Amino acid sequence: MGTDCGCGCGGTTGWPSAFVRPRFFAGQLLTEDDLGLLGDYVTGKAKLRNRTLSGPGVVCGLEVSCDPCGGGKVVVHPGHALDCEGNDIVLSCREQVDVAALVREMRVRSLGVDCGDPCDDDGNRRYGLFVRYEELAVEPVAPYATEEPCPAPGCVPSRIREAFRFVVKTGGFDDHRHNPGTRLLRSLGNLATADHARLRDQRLGKYADAMFVAALGSGRTLRFDAADAKRYADSSAWLKGSGTGDAPPPPVAREMTEHVRALASAVARYDTYDKAGQEQLKKDYPDLAGVQDARGLLRTACGRLAGTGTEAVWPDPVHRSIAVAVVTETNLRVAPEQPDPDAPLELRMLAQGLPLNHALRVEFRADLGVLREWLLDRLEHASDLADCGLRGTVAKIDLPPQLPPPAADSAEKTTIAELRQIAEAAADLSVAVRRFVTDAACSTLNPPCSDCTDSEVLLAHLELDGCDVTRVCSATREQVLPGGSAYGEWLPKLYRLRELAERVCCQPVPRYEKPSLPTEGPIPRPYPEKLLEDWPRTGDLESMLSLLLTPAPGRPRRRRCTSRSTPLRARSPTVCRSWLFCGPR
């Protein structure tokens, strides 16, 4: 059962409900309705092909040049154009166009009053010169007498002559090319809100695996290997050379925080071993014999970092919260000479390089609510959603309740139940975000039929000084392209998009796979490098989104963010941070 209310439920549509052509047979009485239907059928089909296969724009010719005698006139050369209704506009010979007269006519039409000669205006003015399709009823003839009760009086036009007229307009002009980026951003909604949600999704995604490991292996040892020993040695050496003075300046504080995180992770992994295991580690990695000195280095570094202005060092709140957790958790879990034995979950999070304090857990709960509300809002407005089960899946995700902001010095510990609940919700929402963004990207690959709201065809941009035309520019007008002007945005990128779509679209619904733990022995876990730097988005989906949002050659770039070379920490919170709304230069 159909539900298209645009055609059958009182809505409107610019498309014919059906094409009907006359069928002739011997002995048929032909009337003007039959012959008119034949003409309407042929004309309608021709316009449909022009509109959908070619699209509006200039087919050939119609160059606009300065009039040899100067003044307020230009010359339009012979050529062929199509308007957005599919009408053919044909100029068979050169036409001299009085632009000054058209400007005056436009003013009288828009203001309803003649305000005088436009030549009296000071300064340069810019207009668009358009050609518009018109039909003229011509060649009137007297009809023969009929039995009609109300015959047409006098003569009746017997021909329709296809003609045109020139007009000038000001302001913006329609571009009928399909812009996939515009459609994608319509799905994603407000740019700043979408980037805010996706950035928090990234942060939760970085923590999800670690939270599952900490919860499932709360009493297990995390493996300390050669890579950890190298980080231990390198960060110890850097912190020794950093001095013991006052609070470091922001660039040094950022680097120091990363070294504190690296050294604290190595020491925390060491602390997960029992006494016999620690002695064996010291034999395997002699630098660990000075682990107490390393704790002293961490205490000193954390004391210096505590004296810095965190907002000055970390303007971005997403990274700032992690940096604060690095300092507070290091001070609590591994910097003391006798580590806290009653915080196995916090210790194992720190050992994985992803410290989790009370304040960050509160933020994670809030982020989960933000993510789900954003998804539900966007899904509520998604008119062309193809992932039919996504809305119900998001609505059913169980979120932990939000909590009030904790005190600055809060050291409240987490529980296995809380950690698993946050991890489960983060994993489910991360998959939902990927499903939604994939669906939004893939839905842009089918250009829609464009609506015809302005049937004039732009021929040139004109610049006038008084009543004199000083410059003509035809380079930016729409040209009819193979496949129609709606596809003009696709030509430079079509094959690359098809290749990416084969790997991204119409694939099985992604699922989150929890990390698996070995049944015995230390748990191997990678260390997340550059956690406090910008988080690039990579992969086929990100490449596809970037390509969709990169303007095709000739289209204006609507950039809303700073250069890629600008560090994230130097940007304002309202400026976007990724490819998502910028596209490569």
312 backbone dihedrals φ, ψ, rounded to 5°: -70, -40
Lowest mean pLDDT among 5-14, 180-189, 467-476, 479-488: 5-14
Concatenating the DSSP letter of every residue in 328-376 gives HHHHHHTSSSS--TT-HHHHHHHHTT----HHHHHHHHHHHHHHHHHHH
Burial class (CB in 10 A: 0-12, 13-18, 19+), 12: exposed
Alpha helices by DSSP H, 381-493: 390-395, 416-443
State percent of the chain over pLDDT 90: 45
Inform me whether the pLDDT recorded for 88 exceeds 70: yes
pLDDT value for 490:
65
Return the pLDDT at 173. 65
pLDDT tens digits, residue range 228-281?
A: 999 999 999 999 998 888 889 999 999 999 999 999 999 999 999 999 999 999
pLDDT for 475 equals 73
Q: 528: Cβ–Cβ under 8 A, 6 or more apart, which residues?
A: 206, 352, 353, 354
**452 vs 352, more confident:** 352
What is the rounded average pLDDT for all residues in the chain? 84
Residue 3's pLDDT is what?
45
What's residue 152's pLDDT? 66
3-class state of residue 308 by DSSP: coil
Q: pLDDT tens across 113-140, in order? A: 666 666 666 667 888 899 999 989 888 8
Highest average pLDDT, of 26-40, 324-338, 419-433, comes from 419-433
Residues 342, 399: Cα–Cα separation, whole Å: 27
Q: Are 49 and 64 in contact, with CB atoms under 8 Å apart?
A: no
SS (H, E, C) 168-201: EECCCCCCCCCCHHHHHHHHHCCHHHHHHHHHHH
Average pLDDT over residues 481-506: 72
Of 428, 438, 393, give the one whose Cα is nearest residue 188: 438
pLDDT above 90: residue 383: no
* 112-116, 352-356, 568-572: segment of lowest average pLDDT: 568-572
Displacement of CA 193 from its chain's centroid (Å): 11
What is the SS3 assignment for 203? helix
Q: Quick one: pLDDT band at residue 6, thresholds 50, 70, 90?
A: very low
The H-or-E segment that residue 45 falls in is: helix 32-49
| Residue bearing tokens 């951003």 | 185
Any idea what DSSP says for residue 24? -
Chain centroid to CA 496: how far?
18
Residues 540/549, Cβ–Cβ less than 8 Å? no
pLDDT range class, residue 470, cuts 50, 70, 90: confident
Instruction: Report pLDDT for 37.
Output: 87
Give the pLDDT band of residue 435 (cuts 50, 70, 90): very high
Greatest pairwise CA separation for the chain in angstroms: 118
> Per this entry, what is the length of the chain?
585
Place of tokens 């857990």: 361
- In sequence order, what E strands does 107-259 have? 124-141, 156-169
Q: Which of 197-201, 454-458, 486-490 has the lowest mean pLDDT?
A: 486-490
Cα separation, 8 vs 257, in Å, equals 65
pLDDT at position 39: 87
Structure token digits, residue 396? 């059913």
pLDDT tens, position by position, 502-515 = 888 878 888 899 99
Instruction: Tell me what pLDDT residue 485 has.
Output: 56
Q: Model-level pTM?
A: 0.74
pLDDT of residue 72: 86
Ranges 86-100, 164-178, 382-396: which has the least confidence: 164-178
Residue among 403, 470, 445 nearest 73 (CA): 470
DSSP per-residue codes, 493-534: THHHHHHHHHHHTTPPPP---PPPPPSSSPBP----TTTTS-
529 has a pLDDT exceeding 50: yes
pLDDT of residue 328: 94
